[in-house]
Amino acid sequence: MATINEIARQLGVSISTVSAVVNRRGYVSPAMRARVERALEEAQYRPNDMARGLRLGQSRTIGLIVPDLTNSFFARLMRGAEDYLASLDYRLLMADSREEWQRQREYLISFAGRKTDGILLVPCRSTDEQIATIPGLIGNTPLVYVDRSPMNPTGDSVLADNVRAGYAATSHLLELGHRRIAILSEPLDLLNGADRLEGYKKALRARRVALDRNLICFGGDTEDSGYWCGLDLFKRGVPPTAVVVCNNLMTLGLLTALRDARLECPRDVSIIGFDDFEWCPHLSPPLSMVRVPAAELGSAAAKALMRRLRGADGRPPESTLLPAQLVLRKSTGSPRQPG
């Protein structure tokens, strides 16, 4: 309620003196300091961030856009970012693009309108041209891509080591004796989808298992797409004996498809998914997953953004890769008839 002006007038001192006390800078005598501090305390003074922000040209606010707020993976990512930023007294402006380009576009524009000092973006699926317009939308607000990024990011990016993760998941299945391994991939417009598929291919190549294009399905980030791809896969003459599923919602859909196709996991089909979440141990069967360090992605991205804000303007875009981890539970096992 009280402003710095009112405090100054009330005390009969100048605004700048009060400001000096508030910000602990400049020369203020101990007596004066005490007097001002008392008044500040009494009036419950809190600086107006908009005024300060206007003057300083910064808002101490970071915008974070994710494709799905309710996906526990992104929630954990958010928390990682929020945690780090809160410790630096930055606030977090949240937005949910719902995997829709139009929404993401609006949020980017809105955030860039000088309200946020920087932007953390988990981009939604979109075409190359759409992605190319992002720099224009945000002007010169620093931006860091998190978890997903365009093929050639113009800004910093913080991703999981998806090639290695895809490689590890596939290798695990190969070691169990599987040869007909399908992959439920994400679209290839963004790096993480492409990288996971890349890892899958690499693992097959390393074991000299021929790549069967029919075993590569493309879904989205929904349970439904997992369900339909799964159904398609299992209704074939020779269904795969194992599936790598590239995100957590598709994994759930695949589980339903499995049930509908009267197949049992892991007896008939082994499944390994991505983006481990807290209920995986309670599912039937408990799912083997690739654990992508969501919270760490969030905090690492926030850190990268802060580095930019502290004036690493000129430096070229940096790309950080975080290791993922295989968590084995009960959804993977040896195939009934190897080969």
Q: At CA 210, angle to CA 208 and CA 212, rounded to 5?
A: 155
Strand ranges (E), 147-194? 156-160, 181-185
Helix axes 248-260, 223-234, angle to 10 degrees: 40
Helix axes 162-175, 191-206, angle to 10 degrees: 40
208 binds, among a second copy, DNA, none (CB under 5 to 8 A by kind): none
* Alpha carbon distance 302, 308 (integer Å): 10
Tell which residue, 199, 177, 333, 183, has the closest CA to residue 265: 333
20 binds, among a second copy, DNA, none (CB under 5 to 8 A by kind): DNA
Q: Closest approach of Cβ 180 to a second copy, in Å?
A: 25
Number of residues that bind DNA (CB under 7 A): 30
Task: Kindly tell me which residue out of 24, 41, 57, 210 binds DNA, with binding defined by CB under 7 A.
Answer: 57
Near DNA in 18-47, by CB under 7 A: 19-20, 22-23, 25-29, 31-33, 47
140 is an interface residue for a second copy by CB under 8 A: yes
94 is an interface residue for a second copy by CB under 8 A: yes
Partners of 242 in beta bridges? 181, 270
Torsion of CA 232, 124, 279, 275, to 10 degrees: 80
14 is an interface residue for DNA by CB under 7 A: yes
Task: Kindly tell me which residue out of 54, 151, 206, 211 binds DNA, with binding defined by CB under 7 A.
Answer: 54
Task: Kindly tell me which residue out of 37, 83, 161, 268 binds a second copy, with binding defined by CB under 8 A.
Answer: 83
Question: Which CB sits closer to a second copy, 76 or 196?
Answer: 76
Helix axes 15-22, 30-42, angle to 10 degrees: 80
28 binds, among a second copy, DNA, none (CB under 5 to 8 A by kind): DNA
- Give just the sign of the alpha carbon dihedral 268, 204, 189, 146: positive
Task: Kindly tell me which residue out of 10, 16, 87, 284 binds DNA, with binding defined by CB under 7 A.
Answer: 16
* Alpha carbon distance 116, 91 (integer Å): 9
4 is an interface residue for DNA by CB under 7 A: yes
Tell which residue, 331, 201, 156, has the closest CA to residue 258: 331
Task: Kindly tell me which residue out of 25, 213, 282, 310 binds a second copy, with binding defined by CB under 8 A.
Answer: 282
109 is an interface residue for DNA by CB under 7 A: no
56 is an interface residue for DNA by CB under 7 A: yes
The answer to whether 22 and 40 have CB atoms below 8 angstroms apart is yes
Which residues make Cβ contacts (< 8 Å) with residue 210, sequence separation at least 6?
204
255 binds, among a second copy, DNA, none (CB under 5 to 8 A by kind): a second copy
Task: Kindly tell me which residue out of 26, 135, 139, 323 binds a second copy, with binding defined by CB under 8 A.
Answer: 139
Q: Closest approach of Cβ 7 to DNA, in Å?
A: 7
Number of residues that bind a second copy (CB under 8 A): 46
The answer to whether 172 and 137 have CB atoms below 8 angstroms apart is no
283 is an interface residue for a second copy by CB under 8 A: yes
338 binds, among a second copy, DNA, none (CB under 5 to 8 A by kind): none
Cβ count within 10 A of residue 35 = 16
Whether a cis peptide bond, with omega within 30° of 0, leads into 239 is no
79 is an interface residue for a second copy by CB under 8 A: yes
Where do contacts with a second copy occur on this chain (CB under 8 A)? 1, 44, 46-51, 53-54, 59, 61, 69-70, 72, 75-76, 78-79, 82-83, 86, 89, 91-96, 109-110, 112-115, 139-140, 223, 252, 255-256, 278-279, 282-284
The contact set with DNA (CB under 7 A) reads 2-5, 12-17, 19-20, 22-23, 25-29, 31-33, 47-48, 51-52, 54-57
